[in-house]
Amino acid sequence: MWKRERNGKVWHVASYVDDCTVACTDDEARDELMAEMRKKFEIKADEGGPIEYLLGILISQNLESGTVTMTQELAATKLADAFLTDEEKLSAVKVRHPMLHSVELPRLKEREVPDSKFRYLSAIGSLLYISGCTRPDIAAATGMLARHGATPGEKHVKAVKRLIQYVYNTRKYGIKYSRKAEEVEKDTPKLYGQGRHPLDNGHNHMTVFADSDYGADFSRRSTQGCVVMMNGGPIAWSSVLGKTICCSTAEAEVMAAVSAAKEAVHLKLLLGELGVEQKEMVIQEDNQACIAQVKGGLRYIRKAKHYSVALRFLQRLVLNGDVGFAYCDTNSQLADLFTKPLDEQKFNFFASQIMYNSDVESSHSTACLLNGGTQNSEATRLDFITKRAEEINDPDEIMTRHFDDV
């Protein structure tokens, strides 16, 4: 990411290989940059407009309400077409959460399902891309299934197909960011709409949630989950298997907090480079023992001597005021979604806090665009998205949005 300031104007340019997105002060700044770029590169005359489709993500902006939404409906549909039968696609409507929490996936010594029968790694690769872009709700399930990539069996294939059915059934889910937080009451619980505590003074723009299960994997390592909320949606999330075996829940939570703190420090520095002051990053943690160990200054804890380095890292961040810890009730811990399979009710409760359903809004807007306000079919909607993706999917495209408006 690059930043340039000149004559009172500011440009932010983010690049991914040869695709660039530009945020600038106004139209004049955009035209100035595009003129400079055209002197060095071949760029089409119609490029330089608002972002619509980038790296497989459909991006919609509403400058009046100050919202940005990102969805991957087309990618989810293509994934289902590639790995599901017509009958499985029809029954996908019954799948309301990605993984059954009561089903144990065995670790096999040899591969039972060949590639000729089911391309397991190909399916996992597609799911990993979708989960890393706009679908944090499937991060935990995708990560757990990826651990069996070398030796998948019938149970693993069935679980992957169920996950794809869930993605297909919820293909209009995505992420939505809002310019302004809604008015909230003081009694609003932790799971608030804009990812900001109601009593926040406005300087803590991000809220971090960190959690861990305890030795649930076959290797007895713990799965660490983290999600960072900002402007009503998640901006960073992870669900990873810990590198070491933890001897207590407190140790597992400390290790998860270390990963979350690293992400928090990085994002704080990034915001600073963008000109946004972020004060102490508050990590929401639901383990009292973990909070007690990281607070109280640089001190030696006898029962934590086998992970004293990780603990000292957190203690130093807390002492310097870079990171703070706050207790979050387990029933309000968003990161729980990233540590293990949950039952349907609890999963949907947490997923509703971070995901956005574009079904109603986007279906209406597409119908109006194509048919002057008449009802639009699902097939026509997908044809429209596919056509737009093909029209603007150019390796050298430059897309722009105005950060002052959004």
Distance (Å, rounded) from C-alpha 340 to C-alpha 98? 11
Q: What is the mean pLDDT of residues 12-30?
A: 87
> pLDDT tens-digit profile of 291-325?
999 998 888 888 899 999 999 999 999 999 999 99
- In this prediction, residues 261-280 reach a mean pLDDT of 88
d(CA 370, CA 173): 22
- DSSP letters, 199-233, are T--SS--EEEEEEE--S-STTSPPEEEEEEEETTE
107 or 179, higher pLDDT = 107
pLDDT tens string 162-199: 999 999 999 999 999 988 655 434 333 444 444 444 44
Categorize the per-residue pLDDT at 364 as very low, low, confident or very high, splitting at 50, 70 and 90. very low
Residue (of 257, 220, 246, 260) closest to 306 by Cα position: 246
How far is the first Cα of the chain from the last one, in angstroms, to the nearest whole number? 19
Q: What is the DSSP letter of 302?
A: G
CA–CA separation, 353 and 331 (whole Å): 12
Question: In angstroms, what CA-CA distances link 12 with 24, 337, 392?
Answer: 6, 33, 21
C-beta of residue 83 within 8 angstroms of C-beta of residue 92: no
Q: What is the pLDDT of residue 101?
A: 86
pLDDT for the residue numbered 379: 58
C-alpha angle with apex 269: 318 to 138, nearest 5 degrees? Answer: 85
Note the pLDDT tens digit of each residue in 194-243: 444 444 444 567 889 999 999 999 999 999 999 999 888 999 999 999 99
**CB of 61 closer than 8 Å to CB of 400:** no
What is the per-residue pLDDT across 249-258, written as a single tens digit (0 to 9) for each? 999 999 999 9
- pLDDT at residue 402 is higher than 50: no
Domains of the chain by start residue, with CATH = 2-64+389-402 (no CATH), 73-172+363-382 (no CATH), 191-354 (3.30.420.10)
Q: Please tell me which residue, 187 or 91, carries the higher pLDDT value.
A: 91
